[in-house]
Amino acid sequence: MSRPRILIVEARFYEGLADELAAGAIAALERADADHERLAVPGALEIPQAIALAGETGGFDGYVALGCVIRGETSHYDIVAGESARGLMDLALTRGLAIGNGILTVENGDQAWARARVAEGNKGGSAAEAALALIGLRARLGELKR
């Protein structure tokens, strides 16, 4: 099997958190000897659409969605958190895309950093590992089909 080709789609709304999540994802992909590219989007709501557009190219084996949604004073948090997750799940289920979801949904910045830090929660690394696991699963199931 050739090296998996992964697209990291990262929401840049919280740049420091995005960089830390990406660092974890990249380290995990490099450990797995996977090729990767990075694509920046403004916020978490744009991640599913970017993955959908990239999925149409057929150029990637899997995707890592990275971003952060921090609860504020309005219901906007609920919309962004729910719709970004729903969008990713819809893509996974209807198009069979291997997507590791590393979009943090947290109450505050402290929670976000605890989950994003490579030395702590390393959710970027976990999302990359999930995408790789799904790629492997798809390959195994494809062999059963023969």
Instruction: Give the pLDDT score at 48.
Output: 98
| CATH number where 55 lies | 3.40.50.960
List the domain range (segments joined by +) for residue 57.
5-144
138 is in an annotated binding site: no
Q: What is the mean pLDDT of the chain?
A: 96
Which class for 57: exposed (0-12), middle (13-18), buried (19 or more C-beta within 10 A)? exposed
User: Which token pair is 137?
Assistant: 């699963």
101 is in an annotated binding site: yes
| Widest pairwise Cα distance in the chain | 53
Indicate the number of domains in the chain: 1
68 is in an annotated binding site: yes
Model pLDDT for residues 15-45, shown as the tens digit of each residue = 999 999 999 999 999 999 999 999 999 999 9
pTM of this prediction?
A: 0.95
Pairing of strands 5-11, 62-70: parallel
Catalytically active residues are 76
Cα separations in angstroms, 117 against 9, 20, 22, 52, 133: 18, 6, 10, 28, 22
Distance CA 123, CA 120 (A): 9
